[in-house]
Amino acid sequence: MDTFVKAALASKAPASVSASSHDRYNSPLTSRYASAEMAHNFSDAKKFSTWRKLWLTLAASEQKLGLTDITDEALKEMAEHIYDIDYEMAAIEEKRRRHDVMAHVHTFGVAAPKAAGIIHLGATSCYVTDNSELIMMRDALDIIIPKLASCIDKLAKFADTYKDLPTLGFTHLQPAQLTTVGKRATLWLQELLMDLRNISRARADLRFRGVKGTTGTQASFFTLFEGDHSKCEQLDDMVTELSGFPSAYPVTGQTYSRKVDLDVLATLSSFGATAHKMASDIRILASLKEIEEPFEKDQIGSSAMAYKRNPMRCERVCSLSRHLMTLIGNVQQTAASQWLERTLDDSANRRVTIPEAFLTADIVLSLIQNIVDGMVVYPKVIQRRISQELPFMATENFIMFMVQKAGGDRQRCHEEIRVLSHQAGRVVKDEGGENDLIERIKKCEYFAPMVPHIDALLEPSTFVGRAPAQVVSFLKKEVEPALAPYRALLDAGVTQESINV
């Protein structure tokens, strides 16, 4: 037996296995979790076809502004070969030239030979790299924002459904005054609304790099247009408009300011904190058996403990949100360490950080949609926990009743309650028994006038203050206006995409 085991442990995979797609590392963000739309948004297909579109818009705009060397035939060929990218040729060229943009210029020129001489005319590499990244970030925000609105919409419905259900509130993770299940959900909602505001603002502020040249001076285009300032400005405006942006950053170095990345990803990082807090709360409530995330019929909670119902979705939200929150440090360092008009030490880490931030945020949003859509509440468990703690919380009400309705002395009443409360507390803590404060009060002659009213004084709904009204007001004044721009999409149900949750 040992011989077989040792031989297997020492063996190597056969060539057929090594040659498979499972023999290379794949990011779990795309191979395991990502939605198809976000995974495509940061794919090579999207990236390099966008480069070709940018070269086409540049050439078409240059022709329109009078560069006669750019023919209609060249533009037509470029337009016909946006998507048929020879990745193998591009890889060979990049390995030879050590320059990804020039490799793809060459590859595009082979596909569109009539345009080979004018592709990338006057441009620097950042014309395609930076502008394509801004396009992908814009499109990624357009994927994320409706999904965030959907999460808010679903959670708002949950809050409304349970706005009146009393539950034990906690401060310092210790029992405190009662709140309601719906009111607690509004605490999560309020933070998600902040995220919607922040991310929407980042989307509205996003601009295009445009056509700025090697160090941002437009010198090459100034030469192409023989010193015509107006045509340089028109070229910038035309390409910006054709690329779907209302405006470009007025000044750049070779790159657009990396503070743009910081502003955008800061909103995603902030959302990560919201998601982590919300999922952590649900995990605590699941431990108390008050609320659970969806649990499917054949789902396995533990390989060893068959009875377990682990909150795996919320745990995944916390896990991924933690990753999302850490990415902002990289973006801060990059923005801070760019020298003068640019350095290239931003390139490699941005290839990782920016896609991962959006992929992670998108995955977390899909998970939250799934969780809120099927969240289960257990009112009887909640009621039992209230009944264990409410007698202590109701002591102030008892004192007020005895003084106001029964003509009692407050100091004596306080002492009677104090003694009985400590006796009941010892039963709970020292003996592991149930809270018997109410039974002790009912047996105490001093409290005889209050006994007929004690059930009314212990009604949980009288301890939640304005919680139900706060929920109604919050949903009407804050949530509904925030969701109004997305109402048609939400009602059509087009913001939910099925992923491996």
> Are residues 66 and 225 in contact, defined by beta-carbon separation less than 8 angstroms?
yes
Q: Which of 20, 31, 247, 302 is catalytic?
A: 302
Tell me which residue of 436, 392, 443 sits closest to 417, measured CA to CA: 392
Of the CA atoms within 13 Å of residue 3, those in its CB half-sphere come to 0
Is the C-alpha dihedral spanning 157, 150, 481, 155 positive or negative? Answer: positive
Residues whose CB is less than 8 angstroms from the CB of residue 50 and which lie 6 or more positions away in sequence, other chains included: 128, 132, 135, 136
Please check whether residue 446 is in contact with residue 416, taking contact to mean a CB–CB distance below 8 angstroms. Answer: yes
Please return the burial class of 378, using the count of CB atoms within 10 Å of its CB with bins 0-12, 13-18 and 19+: middle
464 by Cβ neighbours in 10 Å (0-12 / 13-18 / 19+) ranks as: buried
Within 8 A by CB and 6+ apart from 350, the residues are 133, 261, 334
Query: Catalytic site residue 302?
Result: yes
3-state secondary structure of 396: helix
Contacts (Cβ under 8 Å, ≥6 apart) of 323 = 356, 360
Q: How many residues would you count in the chain? A: 501
**Ramachandran bin of 76, using left for φ above 0, alpha for ψ from -120 to 50, beta for the remaining angles:** alpha
Tell me, what DSSP letter sits at residue 248?
Answer: B
Is 172 considered catalytic here? yes
Active-site residue among 16, 172, 303, 498?
172
Active site residues: 172, 302
